[in-house]
Each structure stands twice: as C-alpha cells, then as structure tokens.
C-alpha cells in the first residue's frame, strides 16, 4: 500500500491501482531476469499502450487518456517500484516526445505521430545529448542544413533511452549554419523516424542499472528529414527541449520515489522477519531509527513531487519545482537504497533480494535528465532571476 500526503481523487486512486496491478502481473515475475540478461521485452510496449499508459497526458481527441500530471506521476511511481527500467520508458515517452509534439506540433504532425504514439503503436525517444555534449546541452554539434524540401542531418546522439525500439525520435540539431558551435539559439527540434535513409542505431551501453532499458547512440549520416518534420521554429529546439525537461524531471523524480518506496517496503518486511540475538531485528532501535529516516525521506520526496505536479496542473511555471523534486527524490532514492542494503546486511549485497537492483537503478536518477549539479544550477538561477524567496 502506497500512501500520499496529497489527497488523491477516486480517479487518481483507480489509475494508481491499475498501474500497481499491471506492474505486479506483467513486470514483477520478470524484472530480475530482464535485469540479469539486460533484456528489453518489446511486448511491454503493446501492453502499456492497451492500458493507455503511453498517452497518459495526451488529450482524448488525440487518442490519449487526457489525465493530469499528478495522476500520470502517481502511476509512474507504482511502475518504478517494481521495474525502474519500464518506468523510464514510460517517463521519457510521456514527458518528452509526446509532450513536445502535443505542445508545438502542427495538426498534421499530431495526426501522423501523436495519435499513434498515444495509442502505443509508436514508441517515442528523446535525443538531445551527444558524446561531447551532456550537461552543456547548448553545445549540440549535430548539424542540420536546409536543402530544398529537406533538412540534412549529420551527427551522433548519445544516451537515447528506448533508442533500439523507438518509432519516433525528437532530435535536436544545430540549424544555425554560421559555424558557431555553441548557443541556445540556432538549434531545431526534428521529428525523426527510423525509416529515414542515413538513420542507424549505434553502440548499446552496458549499464550498471536500468539494464532492461536499452540506451543507445543514434547515428545520422547525411539523413534527409522532410521539412514538414521540423517541430516549431527552426531556432527554438533548445527552448522546447528545456521546457519539456521540466516535465521530464518530474517523471524521473517519480521514478526515484517509486524506487525508494520499494526499498523501504522490502527493508521493513525483512526487518520484521530477520531474527538476530533472539528477536526480530526491527526491535532494535538502530534499525527503527534507520527505517524512520528512510520513511521520512520518501514522504518528503513524494510530497514535493506531488506539489510540483499540482503546480504544473494549475499552469504555474515549474522549472525550479521540477528541478527541486528531481534533486530531492533522486538523492533520497540513493540514500534510502543504501540504507536498505545495510538493513539486509550480506543478503543486501547479493542478487537474491531486490534491494541490490534497486540500489543500482537509483544511481542514474542522480545523473540523467540533468545531474544533481545541473538541478542545483537551475534552482539557484531561478532563485535569483525570479526573486523567489529573496
């Protein structure tokens, strides 16, 4: 049973239950094996699509469920608690490419891409980072040159979640042809599909965690993208990507909350079962205090996440709140999973119990969609630029 300080509506609780049942039925029996074998199970895409989980915030007129962000994130927490690899697929798809097309796409782009994405027929991916452009996202080097009725893209994208199975990739490339290699202006967002000549999937990363989620490089070699696949204005791609990451970071915060909640649940159960010195270890104050601190950090992370989601649903500017939610939840997830391993002792260090996987999966939440250091930069800049709390 997952609790929340924010009162949930009946509909939100129903979607939360659906997500929990789905995770228990479809993911729990396989999550350990998929992690061990670094196996991505493609049938999951259709199963998520059938439940509407690949169009959660997309309006019903475009084939989605039309839910608010709080409902989406509550469901994401449930999926992450069981299989964080599936959670990142759901998070990236719902928060980044679908939101970008929904917000800045033409009616034609919505018809061709958003509708099948919302139905789960096309999986979405997001390609901003490159081998030499990570935290400094404005230093994108992939070049897009206009040529007749096409843009010709050349370059390599890195760290692309779900890149092996994506049917639609939102790729950022430099449209400024002046030779300037840096700068937020002069970057376009392109809707790229794997059937384009010159598109190829490159190196698949062998990762510490989220092993069932394929992360790859994508190569664009002289790839001709039709002009009608440019999203929005040709020099606004960086801005569109940053605004979408405000929602993306809420998704990663929800993933982190789910992981931390699972670690707390497993550790509490184990502490009740495990006997040492003649009694269950939960009767030792050292264990009780540890569990109390873990529960406090899970509750605080969830409360901040839900408050940020509610702010988004009210139409507020959420850049700083999503950065805060991600920063807090990801660092809490890393800390809580470390404590869970300590409670399990030697059994926490081996793969017989789930906390070892949760610990490995938690780490990346401090890294992707902006490292903790980037979140602190974003929060600090917002503090000064908007004069909030000063």
Measured at the alpha carbon of residue 360, what is the angle toward residues 87 and 340, in degrees to the nearest 5? 100
| 90 contributes a contact to ligand CAA by CB under 6 A | no
Contact between 100 and ligand CAA per CB under 6 A: no
* Candidate residues 78, 246, 356, 361; the one interacting with ligand CAA per rule CB under 6 A: 246
Q: Is 366 in the site for ligand CAA (CB under 6 A)?
A: no
Q: CB of residue 362 vs ligand CAA: minimum separation in angstroms?
A: 15
Question: Mask: binding to ligand CAA, 180-209, rule CB under 6 A, as x and -?
Answer: ----x-------------------------
**Which of the following is catalytic: 10, 369, 373, 382?**
369
- DSSP letter assigned to residue 205: P
CA distance 253 to 287: 26
H or E, element range at 303: helix 285-313
Task: Establish whether 366 is a catalytic residue.
Answer: no
Coil, strand or helix at 374: helix
- Rounded-to-integer distance, Cα 171 and Cα 241, Å: 9
343 touching ligand CAA, by CB under 6 A: no
Cβ nearer to ligand CAA, comparing 87 with 260: 87
Residues 18-57: x where in contact with ligand CAA by CB under 6 A, - otherwise, as a string: ----------------------------------------
369 makes contact with ligand CAA (CB under 6 A): yes
Local structure of 192: helix, strand or coil: strand
Nearer to ligand CAA, 78 or 382 (CB): 382
Positive or negative, the CA dihedral 35, 338, 287, 326 is negative
Among 53, 72, 113, 126, binds ligand CAA (CB under 6 A): 126
- In angstroms, the CA 40 to CA 161 distance is 11
Q: Per DSSP, which regions of the chain are E strands?
A: 124-127, 143-147, 150-161, 168-174, 187-192, 199-204, 215-226, 230-231, 275-276, 279-280
Question: Residue 245, interface with ligand CAA (CB under 6 A)?
Answer: yes
d(CA 24, CA 21): 5
Q: Which stretch binds ligand CAA (CB under 6 A): 6-14, 157-165, 288-296, 307-315?
A: 157-165
Closest to 264 in 3D by CA, of 3, 24, 22: 3
Classify burial at 90, counting beta carbons within 10 Å of its beta carbon; exposed 0-12, middle 13-18, buried 19 or more: buried
Least distance in angstroms from the C-beta of 93 to ligand CAA: 10
Q: Does 89 bind ligand CAA (CB under 6 A)?
A: no
- Number of residues assigned to the chain: 390
Site size toward ligand CAA (CB under 6 A) is 23
Binder to ligand CAA among 319, 320, 330, 337 (CB under 6 A)?
Answer: 319
According to DSSP, the β-strands at 143-147 and 124-127 are: unpaired
Q: What is the 8-class DSSP label of residue 138?
A: G
Please identify which residue in 28, 138, 295, 379 interacts with ligand CAA, judged by CB under 6 A. Answer: 138
Q: Does residue number 364 form part of the binding site for ligand CAA (CB under 6 A)?
A: no
Is 121 or 205 the residue whose CB approaches ligand CAA more closely? 205
Task: Cite the active site residues.
Answer: 369
Binding residues for ligand CAA, rule: CB under 6 A, are: 92, 126, 128-129, 135, 137-138, 159-161, 184, 239, 242-243, 245-246, 319, 368-370, 374, 377-378
């Amino acid at each position: 049973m997952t609790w929340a300080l924010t009162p949930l509506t009946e509909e939100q609780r129903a979607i939360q239950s659906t997500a929990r049942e789905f995770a228990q039925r479809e993911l729990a029996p396989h999550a350990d094996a998929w992690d061990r074998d670094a196996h991505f199970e493609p049938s999951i895409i259709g199963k998520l699509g059938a439940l509407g989980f690949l169009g959660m915030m997309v309006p019903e007129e475009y084939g989605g469920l039309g839910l608010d962000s709080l409902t989406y994130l509550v469901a994401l927490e449930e999926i992450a608690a069981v299989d964080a690899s599936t959670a990142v697929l759901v998070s990236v798809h719902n928060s980044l490419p679908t939101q970008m097309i929904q917000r800045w796409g033409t009616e034609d782009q919505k018809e061709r891409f958003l509708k099948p994405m919302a139905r789960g027929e096309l999986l979405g991916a997001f390609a901003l980072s490159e081998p030499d452009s990570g935290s400094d996202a404005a230093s994108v080097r992939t070049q897009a040159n206009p040529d007749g009725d096409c843009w010709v893209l050349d370059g390599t994208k890195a760290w692309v979640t779900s890149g092996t199975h994506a049917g639609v990739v939102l790729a950022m490339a430099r449209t400024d042809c002046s030779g300037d290699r840096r700068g937020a202006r002069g970057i376009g967002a392109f809707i790229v599909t794997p059937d384009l000549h010159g598109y190829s999937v490159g190196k698949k990363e062998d990762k510490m965690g989220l092993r069932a989620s394929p992360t790859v490089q994508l190569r664009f070699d002289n790839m001709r993208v039709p002009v009608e696949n440019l999203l929005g204005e040709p020099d606004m791609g960086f801005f569109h990507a940053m605004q979408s990451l405000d929602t993306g970071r809420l998704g990663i915060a929800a993933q982190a909350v789910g992981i931390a909640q699972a670690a707390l649940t497993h550790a509490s159960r184990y502490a009740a079962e495990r006997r040492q010195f003649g009694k269950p270890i939960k009767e030792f104050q050292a264990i009780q205090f540890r569990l109390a601190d873990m529960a406090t950090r899970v509750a605080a992370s969830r409360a901040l996440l839900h408050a940020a989601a509610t702010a988004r649903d009210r139409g507020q500017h959420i850049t700083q709140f999503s950065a805060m939610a991600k920063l807090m939840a990801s660092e809490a997830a890393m800390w809580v999973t470390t404590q869970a391993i300590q409670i399990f002792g030697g059994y926490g260090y081996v793969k017989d119990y789930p906390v070892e996987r949760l610990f490995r999966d938690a780490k990346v939440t401090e890294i992707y969609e902006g490292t903790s250091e980037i979140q602190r930069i974003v929060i600090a800049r917002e503090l000064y630029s908007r004069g909030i709390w000063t």
